[in-house]
Amino acid sequence: MAEYLIVSDIGKSYESVLVTSVRPYDLHVAMLLLGVHAASDGAGSEQPPAQLDKAYLASAPSLKGDDIEISLAWKVGTAERHARGEDLIFNEARNKPMSHGPWTYNGSVLHQGLLLAQTGGSIVALVTDPAALINNPRPGHTDDHIWTVRTKSLPPDGVPVQVTFRLPQPKSTANGG
pTM (two decimals): 0.87
3-state SS of 70-124 is EEEEEEECCEEEEEEHHHHEEECCCCEECCCCCEEECCCCEECCEEHHHHHCEEE
User: How many Cβ atoms from other residues are within 10 Å of residue 39's Cβ?
Assistant: 20
Provide CB contacts within 8 A for 40, sequence distance 6+: 107
Closest CA to 70 of 160, 168, 172: 168
Cα 123 to Cα 31, 43, 76, 155, distances in angstroms: 12, 19, 25, 19
pLDDT of residue 112: 82
Per-residue pLDDT tens for 131-177? 999 999 999 998 989 999 999 999 999 999 999 999 887 665 555 55
As a whole number of angstroms, the distance between CA 97 and CA 80 comes to 22
As a whole number of angstroms, the distance between CA 24 and CA 133 comes to 7
Mean pLDDT by 10 residues, the chain (177 residues): 96 95 96 84 53 63 89 96 97 97 93 89 95 94 93 94 89 55
pLDDT of residue 63: 85
Tell me phi and psi for residue 33, to 5 degrees: -65, -30
pLDDT of residue 38: 78
pLDDT of residue 171: 60
Tell me phi and psi for residue 105, to 5 degrees: -90, 95
Do residues 147 and 140 touch, judged by C-beta distance below 8 A?
yes
Domain ranges across the chain: 4-40+64-166
pLDDT of residue 177: 52
Tell me phi and psi for residue 86, to 5 degrees: -65, -25
